[in-house]
A and B are shown apart, each in its own frame.
Chain A
Amino acid sequence: MSDRFESTVTTTCGYCGVGCRLEAHVTGGQVASITPASDGPANHGHTCLKGRFAHRFARARDRLTEPLVREGGRLRAVSWERALETISTRLGEIRAEHGPNAIAGLASSRATNEDCYVMARLMRAAIGTNNIDNCSRVCHSPTSFALRKSLGLSGATGCFDDIDHAEVAIIIGANPTQGHPVVGARMKQAALRGLKLITIDPRRIELADYGELHLAPRAGTNAAVVLGMAHVLERDGLTDPTFIAERTEGYDTLGELLEHYPPATVHEISGIPATDIEAAAHLYGEARRASIAWGLGVTEHKYGSEVVRLICNVALMTGKVGQAGSALLPLRGQNNVQGSSDMGALPDTYTAYRSVADERVAGAFEAAWGVPLSREPGYKVPEMLDAAVAGELKAMYIFGEDIAQTDPNSAHVVKALESLQFVVCQDIFENETTRYADVVLPASAFLEKQGTFTNAERRIQLVEPAIPPPGQARTDLEIIAAVSRALGHEMGYAGPSEVMDEIAALTPDFAGVSYERLGRRGLQWPVAPDGSDAPILYEERFSLPGGRARFAALPYKEPGDAVDEGFPLILVTGRVLEHYNAGTMTRRTGNLELVDRDWLEIHPDDAGRLWISDGERVSVRSRVGRVELCARVTERIEPGHVFTSFHFPEARTNLLVGSSADVNTSCPEYKVVAVDVRPMSERASTRPALASA
C-alpha cells in the first residue's frame, strides 16, 4: 500500500468519543483515503463511515481561509495582524472598563487536549478570569460530576475491551450503533457471541434486536428504573456484602430508600412491566462479570447527574467495578469530551479536576505562568449566556463551537450573542454563531494539526497532521498563542508536545505522559511518572478519602417538563449514524447524499391519531419554540414519544428545548421536551374517514 500514496500518517479520529486510530493517506495535498489502523486499541482495525469517508469537508470550498473582521455590519477579510490587533484592543478596552470577569471563553471538545489547555490558560492568565467552559457542559458534565462523587475519578472505570469479557451488559440512554458506531459494532458482535444485552431506552434501538431484554421507560424516569433494579438486587440477595462492607460507605441509607421502589411502583412511574425490572436485575446480578454503558439519554436530564450516581450504586452493591468485564462505561459523544474537561477548560477546576480555589494547585499554575490567578470560579455556559443577556458579560471568545445551533433555547442564545459588545469565533466554517461575531479566526481541522485526544476509555492518543491548514488558516494552538501574545502574555511553547510536557509537570494524574510514550497505542490516565497507565480503575481502592466508594441515596424526581393537553408528546433528540452533531463536517461530505435532513420519528399509533402519514411535513411546537420537520412513522419509538436529530441548521431543533437543566451541572434537559405535533397541511378529504385511533 505504502508507495500508492505520497504520505500516510497514523492519527486519531476527530468524530466521536470511541477514538478510532486511523491511517490517513495523502496524495496531491489531499486526503485520498482513510483506513483503520489495525493496531487501534479501541477500534481493532475497524471504523465507521464518518471516520473512513467523511473527510472531504477539510477542503470544502467554503472553508474559512482568512481572518474576518466585522466592518459596517459585514465580515471582511483582513490580515492576521489586523485581526489580532482588533481582538487585543477590544478585549483590552472591555477588561479595563468592566474587569476581566466581563469576558468569557469557550474551549471545544472537538479540539485537542493541548488546544483546550492553552484556551484555559488564555482566559485565566492572559485575561484574568475563570470564565472558561467547554461543550461537555451540555453532554457529559453530569457523568463527570457523578463519577467523581461516587468513585473519585471522572472517567470510565474500564475499557471497551471489557465488553468482550462481560457476560451481561446494560446499555442505558445510548444508541451505540448510531452514535458510537465502532463500539456499537463491537457490542453487536459480542451479543452474537453470547453477551446478554439489556437495553433501556424510550426508542427501540438497533441493539435491542440483538439483546436479551429491552426496557422502554417513559422519558425522564431512568432514576426509577435504576432504583427498581437496585431494589430487586437487594431484595433477592444478589448483592456482594463483602464488597459493600470493605470498599463502600453509605449502603444503609440507600437500603432504606430502596424499600420505596418495588417493581410495581417502578412500573407505575416508568411504564416498564414489573417482571422486566426483575428480569433485568437478575440477569445483571447473577452474572459474574457485567458492565454498564450509558450516553446522553442518561445525562441530559434535570436529574441526569443523580441517575449516573444511581447507576454507580448498582455496580457498587454487586461489586461489579474494578475488574475486567465489569466496567462503568460512559459513551462520550465527541472525540475529546473527556480531554477538554481533563484539561481544566472548566470554570471551577484546573487540570484533572483540581479546584481553582485550591491554594497549592493555583500556586503551582501561578509559578508556571508567571501571573496571579483568580481563586473565584467562573461562569458555566448557561450562566455566561444569562450574564450576557443581563449585561454583565460583555465579550466572548468562542472556539470550535456553534452555540447558536447546538445549545438549548436557541432564541435565548441568540439574544445573548446580540447583547455582547464583542464576539470572537475561532472555527473552520462560518456557522450560526459566526453571524454574531465581530472577528472570525480561520482554524484547523483534526487532519491538519498535532496534539492528543482522550477517548471515552481515558486513553490519550496522538493526533498527527496529514495535510496543512488551507490558505491562511492556522492551527488552533498557534492562534490562541498569538492572541495571548497580543494581549501581553507570552505562552512560549515551541509546539504541542511542549504543552503536554507542561501539563504532565503540573498534573500528578498525567505525570508520566509524553508524546514519545503515547506512541501508537496511547495511555489511559492516570499515568504514573514511570509511564505505567491504568486500563482498569479501582482494582484495590477508590480515589476518595479513605479509599471507599460512596453510595448515593437519591429518590426519583419528575423531569423538568411534562406532557399536558396542549403538549401531549415527549420529544427526545439524538444523533444519526451518518451525521455528527451540528453537521458542520458531515454535511459537507457524501454523507449528505445518504441522509439529507432531520426526520421526526413518530409511532404509528400517534401518527394515526394525528392524521400524519410517513414523509409528511409536520409542525412541532414546544412551550418555547416551533420547528417544521418531515415525519417518519416507525415502531422504533415508543407511543407518546417523538424523536429527531439536530444535524441540520435549517431545522433548528434546539429552538424547542427550554432552559431546564441538570440540578448539579447545568447540563440542558435535551431529552424531555413536551411538544405538540400537527400535520402542516390538512387537505379536505372527499371521502368520509375515521381516525385510526
Chain B
Amino acid sequence: MRLTVDGREVEVEPGSTVLEAVRRAGSAVPTLCYDPRQAPFGACRVCLVGLAGAPAPIAACTTPCREGMSIDTRDPAARRVAATVVELVLSELPQAPAPHTELAEVARSLGVCGTRFAGATHEVEHDERHPYLVLRHELCISCGRCVRACDELQGAFALTATGRGFEANIAAGLGGGFRESTCVSCGACADTCPTGAITEHTLLTLEQEEHP
C-alpha cells in the first residue's frame, strides 16, 4: 500500500503503522512510550503527526496505514502539542534527565529546554536492594514501557503501574521491590526505560562520576 510522508511517496506492507511508514520514508518523529519490541501503546502523544483531511493530529505509533494517506511530520499543531507534552513531563521531575536518555533526546529534538510549568516535582525515592537493578521512582514518567517489557518480552509480570495522576508510578511486585516480586532479573525494564528511572548500579556510578 502507498502513502505520502512529507511529500515523499512510500510503500508499506498492509498492517503497518504510520510510524513505520514515517521511518521508512526517512522522516523523523520523536517517541517516548514506543518500543518496537512491544505492541503499540499510544500513551505519550509525542509521536503526533498531521494527517491530511483529519480534524486534529494523530498518534503515528497506533494509527494503521491506509492507502493514499498524506502525512505531515512537521505539522505545526502536532509539533506544538508534542513539545508541550514533553514540557509537562519534564515539569514533574526533580532534575533534568541525564543527557544520554531517550527523554533528553526527545526534548532536544523538539527544541524543549527546561519547562515553563513550575510546580510540584516527584520526591526522590530510590530502591537499591537488587544486586543489579536500581529503581528511581522520581524519574518515572508512567510511559508503561517497563511494565510492557516485563509482560510482553519476558513474561514475568513483575511490574505494575500504580497510583493516578501526579501519583502515577511503577511498583515491583506489591511494592516490596524486585526481589520480593516475580522478577527474573532479565533487565528488559532497564533496557527500555526512556528516563533511567530503572537502571543498573554500575551505570548509576558512571553517571554520578560524569555529572557529580
> Which A positions have Cβ atoms within 8 angstroms of B?
1, 3-4, 27, 32-33, 35-36, 38, 44-49, 52-53, 177, 181, 185, 188-189, 192, 577-578, 590-591, 593-594
Contact = CB atoms under 8 A, between A and B. Distances in A.
A123 to B, nearest CB: 39
Interface residues of B, number: 20
Interface string B145-187: 0000000111100000000000000000000000100001111
Given A47-B187, A49-B185, A188-B155, 20 more contacts: A4-B100, A32-B203, A33-B202, A33-B203, A44-B37, A45-B36, A45-B153, A46-B186, A46-B188, A48-B186, A49-B187, A52-B186, A52-B187, A53-B185, A177-B184, A181-B184, A185-B155, A590-B131, A594-B131, A594-B179
A593 B188 CA distance: 20
Contacts of A35: 191
B23 to A, nearest CB: 14
B200 A33 contact: yes
A593 B131 contact: yes
Contact of A48 (B36, B184, B200): B184
A131 B170 CA distance: 57
Interface string B183-198: 0111110010000000
Nearest to A36: B191
Contacts of A46: 37, 153-154, 186, 188
Given A33-B203, A185-B153, A185-B155, A47 B37 contact: no
Contacts of A36: 191
A444 to B, nearest CB: 22
A33 B202 CA distance: 7
B206 interface: yes
Nearest to B200: A33
Nearest to A45: B37
A32 B155 CA distance: 26
Interface in B1-47: 36-37
B188 A32 contact: no
A47 B155 contact: no
Contacts of A27: 206
B155 A189 contact: yes
B153 to A, nearest CB: 5
A590 B154 CA distance: 20
B132 interface: yes
Nearest to B99: A4
Contacts of B186: 46-49, 52, 181, 185
A32 B37 contact: no
Contacts of A3: 100
B145 to A, nearest CB: 13
A192 B191 CA distance: 23
A647 B186 CA distance: 20
Among B155, B188, B206, the most chain A Cβ lie within 10 Å of the Cβ of B155
A594 B185 CA distance: 9
A590 B153 CA distance: 23
Contacts of B185: 48-49, 53, 578, 594
A577 B184 CA distance: 8
5 contacts: A33-B200, A33-B202, A36-B191, A189-B152, A189-B153
Contacts of A48: 184-186
A27 B36 CA distance: 28
Contacts of B154: 46, 185
A32 B187 contact: no
Which 10 A-B residue pairings sit nearest by Cβ, starting from the closest? A590-B131, A49-B185, A188-B155, A593-B131, A4-B100, A53-B132, A52-B187, A45-B37, A185-B154, A46-B153
A636 B202 CA distance: 35
Nearest to A178: B184
Contacts of B191: 35-36, 52
Nearest to A593: B131
Contacts of B188: 46
Contacts of B37: 38, 44-46
A1 B187 contact: no
Interface string B78-102: 0000000000000000000000100
Nearest to A54: B132
Nearest to B185: A49
A615 B114 CA distance: 54
Contacts of A192: 155
Contacts of A577: 184
Contacts of A594: 131, 179, 185
A192 B202 CA distance: 34
A27 B132 CA distance: 17
Contact of B100 (A1, A53, A181, A189): A1
Interface string B133-153: 000000000000000000011
